[in-house]
Chain A
Amino acid sequence: MRRISLYSLDSLFGEISKSMTLYIPASDNAGGAVYTKYEDGVEYLNTLNTVKSPKNFFFPHTEDLMEFKLQGKNIDILDIRQESEDFAVFGVRGCDVKSFDILDRVFLSDPVDSYYATRREHGVIISLACTKPSETCFCTTFGIDPTEPMGDISAWMTESHLYLQPVTEKGKALMSKIEHITEACDDSEVLAQKDKTKNILSKLPLKDLSTDAFGSGKTKELFDSPQWAELSQSCLGCGTCTFVCPTCQCYDIKDFNTGSGVIRYRCWDSCMFSEFTKMAHGNPRLTQTERFRQRFMHKLVYYPENNDGLFSCVGCGRCLSKCPISMNIVKVMKSLGGDKNE
């Protein structure tokens, strides 16, 4: 383990950005934080979670896939893919780090999504342990330890220092580049901080949220529950939950006519939208109840069924704070039988 004084945080960021583009959480001037490219004048904002999840680094909101040139009846297909540049993301919380595992299982399973893969290979994640988990946090429900945030380099920030511990080969490579500005240290300060954080975690309001009623094989029990209608009654179908969610990965593929050709691009889509499954001959999810059910069944039953029991939620709490009608996965889990206290 190595450390650097917080007074030298800028020189750490400067050193990393000499070899790769670095993104850090900075103010979005609207009360939240947004990952911002580090350069002179960009100030690190110590925040619990960024408003938007870091999935954008690997699975961008919009990306061009290929280009076509058209002439009469003829078509030219242009492969416009490029290797990703090397980049690092600093300050990723343990919940968001876990979300990359969940996305990997979708995009890196056969056939590998090359657009995602190149970014994943070139990106280095420097995580950051939580010290002030909030009342909307429930990552521990999904077995995540926010005091051991993982990524390529795990980091802990105390009042005086930033502690760094490489986890992967990529992390070790980056550590060697910043060795000269960091100092070797023991982990006593980190251990003390972990204890303090765990004490807070044990008092969080959502600590007893249980996944027992969910997971592989629960489709029959849950799908026809009359509670879906009630839970979804006020859902506006706005899709905010899916856009802020670090694990939502549904996408659309569209064509854009540039005037001199066609760009086929991919963009985030949402199972909450009415046209998501609409076909010429009809729509299997006609009402918001069916679309709402799909989102939560996917995270709590279907995804685990296809992925060794792993849930597709990391308990980051973004949907809890952003849903305009205050509906969220915690309410869904509690009403369908996931509260140990009830």
Chain B
Amino acid sequence: MNNRAETLIPVLGVITDVRIDTPDVKTFRVVTPDGKKAFDHKPGQCAMLSIPGVGEAMFSITSSPTNQEYMEFSIKKCGCVTDWLHQAEEGQQLTIRGPYGRPFPVDDEFAGKNLLFIAGGIGLAPLRSVINYCRHYRDRYGEIDIVYGSRSMDDLVDYNEIIDEWTKDTGIRVHLTIDREQEGWNGHVGFVPSYVKELDFSTDKTAIICGPPIMIKFTLDAMIEMGFAKEQVYTTMELRMKCGVGKCGRCNIGSKYVCKDGPVFRCDELSELPDEY
């Protein structure tokens, strides 16, 4: 029996670094007990992390596949498993299984394109994997624009990496915004969808959006208004999952399972599905 493969049985992981990003987001670095990456993945794919006795939950892998040393997960504190993880220290073991889901088409549809990343809040976590992949293979892509917004400047995830690395790359423009005026903030103030409209991007770009469902909906509306076609816009979804492989039956939108047919969807694919997400 033990020679049969079984995706539900995880492998061990160890938290080797905990970075505090915001008051409710921490980024966890995870390797196997012998210091290696648990498995390879593609940008946009997810992994099931669990603390036995607490529970198991699906998280997007926020580090780029080009990072050969470890995986990172940016996790917002908002439920049982995430609360537990937030009080975990370096050296804590956990279980990990994956990778799950359809990744972003970074090597085919995205190749040679100008890319526009739009993220809200913790929605940057899945996009960071793609952004860093594209930065690593910079010559495969055209211009890169990144619009990122959060409630306040304290809620911007990966802030140091954005400022110290992304903004210094050639051909990458980063546009940050926060919801309300704040002392010490000289940047843009306003919600992401309206900022995207203000920036008035040319429609020769492939866009990748992730954030709270309401932000995705309004941003998509804004982009359609700007002349983007749904075929040019990608997003990544999140629904409750248990198995990760399309069998436990709970993450479906119509006949598509977010865990295996997604989480990445092109917006024209999404509009073919019933509005139940």
Contacts and interface: CB of A to CB of B under 8 A. Distances in A.
Given A75-B95, A262-B53, A284-B277, A114 B248 contact: no
Interface stretch (B7-15, B65-73, B154-162, B222-230): B7-15
A280 B250 contact: no
A131 to B, nearest CB: 35
A100 interface: no
B106 interface: no
B52 A255 contact: yes
A83 to B, nearest CB: 5
Given A70-B53, A73-B93, A82-B1, 10 more contacts: A74-B93, A81-B4, A223-B254, A224-B274, A249-B249, A251-B247, A255-B52, A276-B250, A279-B79, A298-B249
A107 interface: yes
A281 B255 contact: no
Contacts of A297: 254
Which of the four size classes fits the interface of chain B? 35 or more
A250 interface: yes
Contacts of B94: 75
A39 interface: no
Contacts of A257: 53
B52 A70 contact: yes
B82 interface: yes
Contacts of A114: 1, 4-6
Contacts, number: 130
A44 B50 CA distance: 46
Contacts of A83: 1
Contacts of B242: 251-253, 269
B10 A77 contact: yes
Contacts of A301: 255
Nearest to B257: A306
B36 interface: no
B248 A269 contact: yes
A264 interface: yes
A65 B273 CA distance: 33
Interface in A285-342: 285, 290, 294, 297-298, 301-303, 305-306
Nearest to A66: B9
Contacts of B54: 255
A119 B56 CA distance: 26
Contacts of A81: 1-2, 4, 6
Given A79-B2, A271-B250, A111 B7 contact: yes
A302 B12 contact: no
Interface string B1-32: 11011111111100000000000000000000
A74 B15 CA distance: 11
Contacts of A132: none
Given A223-B254, A281-B212, A298-B252, A77 B11 contact: yes
A107 B9 contact: no
B247 A106 contact: yes
Contacts of B79: 279-280
A277 B8 contact: no
A219 interface: yes
Contacts of A281: 78, 212-213
A68 B254 contact: no
A278 interface: yes
A223 B6 contact: no
B78 A284 contact: no
Closest 5 CB pairs of A and B: A250-B249, A68-B52, A302-B255, A280-B79, A280-B78
Counting chain A CB atoms within 10 Å of each CB, which of B53, B56, B89, B243 scores highest?
A: B53
7 contacts: A70-B52, A223-B254, A277-B239, A279-B240, A284-B276, A301-B255, A306-B255
Contacts of B277: 284
Contacts of A253: 8, 56, 242-243, 248
A284 B4 contact: no
Contacts of A135: none
A118 interface: yes
B55 interface: yes
Given A65-B9, A305-B255, A306-B255, A77 B95 contact: yes
